[in-house]
Amino acid sequence: MTRSLPVFLTSVIGAAVLLALSACGEDRAAEKPATADATSRECPAIADTPVKLAGGTFEMGEDDVYKEEGPVRKTTVAGFWIDPHEVTNRQFAAFVKATGHVTVAEKPVDPKQFRVPVDRIPPDMLKAGSAVFTPPAFPSDNYADWWKYVPGANWKKPYGPAGRGAVASEPVVHLAWDDMVAYARWAGGRIPTEAEWEYAASAGQRSKNVQPAEANSWQGAFPNYNAASDGFEGVAPVGCYRPNANGLYDMVGNVWEVTSDFFRPGHNPDDRDNPKGPDEGSAYDPLNPGMPSHTVKGGSYLCAPNYCQRYRPASRQGRDPGLGTSNVGFRLVYDRMPKI
């Protein structure tokens, strides 16, 4: 897969190359990003052993929150095993040590992704790096005020070269689709379908009954004030919040989780048995119409009552597969019990 910038950066930075970034020069990418989160409580260590879920039928989707989440349909999935938590930096480091894998974010950017002449692109934007959430000092509803492309940001340095290194127990972030698939093959699993993921996250409840208070989310006025009353200003280690009834941690909040389904707004009401979503040719993301996006689920630590109310199992968005960000991770499912 060709490396690309995430959809919100291609739209924001594509215009910024001509406007804001050209005015700010190269210094803007070097602004200090969000740094280590102050943790005020200890989190228990949790096992990596996958959880076995029997197949079943559940009500997938929501009709009364965001349009792309409906219609609600009764959906059946077969049984599977699923990781109890998001893939961590510790687990991904073991994969890199065993295989020598180099992630997409550690490679230079293809200038063709900007769709503007190369000489109009700030040099830092072509360096290896990734998108880091950087809270502004003022209220804003403009993506360009929150997200910075930070050269040198990757899974090992999630806040960029000036920030702290990866914490072993935190979810691995800044991964592209190809990086996740490579890890899945090595680990003997696969990326879950959207239906499998939502079934596991719902744990016998309707999506709207899964409370955000049980998830790592934003407390305060997004994007400039985070009270961090739960003890975490950003990503939290896995296992810091109560598991759901299936024994799964962080199925909502913390980081968005990637699924194998391609994205289209809304569900096909007739696709009910072990659905896999649209094929690549019929995928469509209105925010990124030029590239098939994968569906991400569950919201992240950036979801707040005044902004992204997507800390629910039914939440869904498209995400450009070409590059990760500081708030997107994944977990695996397995068709048979893996060797641990």
Q: Determine the pLDDT at residue 301.
A: 94
- Pairing outcome for strands 294-297 and 256-262: antiparallel
Q: Determine the pLDDT at residue 161.
A: 95
Q: Determine the pLDDT at residue 212.
A: 65
Q: Determine the pLDDT at residue 36.
A: 41
Q: How far apart are CA 322 and CA 332, in angstroms?
A: 19
pLDDT-flagged residues of the chain (< 50):
1-2, 6-8, 10-39
Q: What is the pTM for the complete model shown? A: 0.88
Q: Determine the pLDDT at residue 290.
A: 83
Q: What is the DSSP string of 295-339?
A: EEES--TT--TTS----STT-EEEE-TT--BTTEE---EESSPPP
**What's at 312, amino acid-wise?**
R
Assigned token pair, 50 = 């996958």
Q: How far apart are CA 104 and CA 204, in angstroms?
A: 37
Q: Determine the pLDDT at residue 340.
A: 65
Work out the angle between the directed axes of helices 89-99 and 177-187 (0-180°, nearest 10). 80
Judge contact between 194 and 295, C-beta under 8 A.
Answer: yes
Q: Determine the pLDDT at residue 7.
A: 44
CATH code of domain 50-100+167-334? 3.90.1580.10
Domain ranges of the chain: 50-100+167-334
Q: Determine the pLDDT at residue 13.
A: 46
Q: How far apart are CA 107 and CA 5, in angstroms?
A: 12
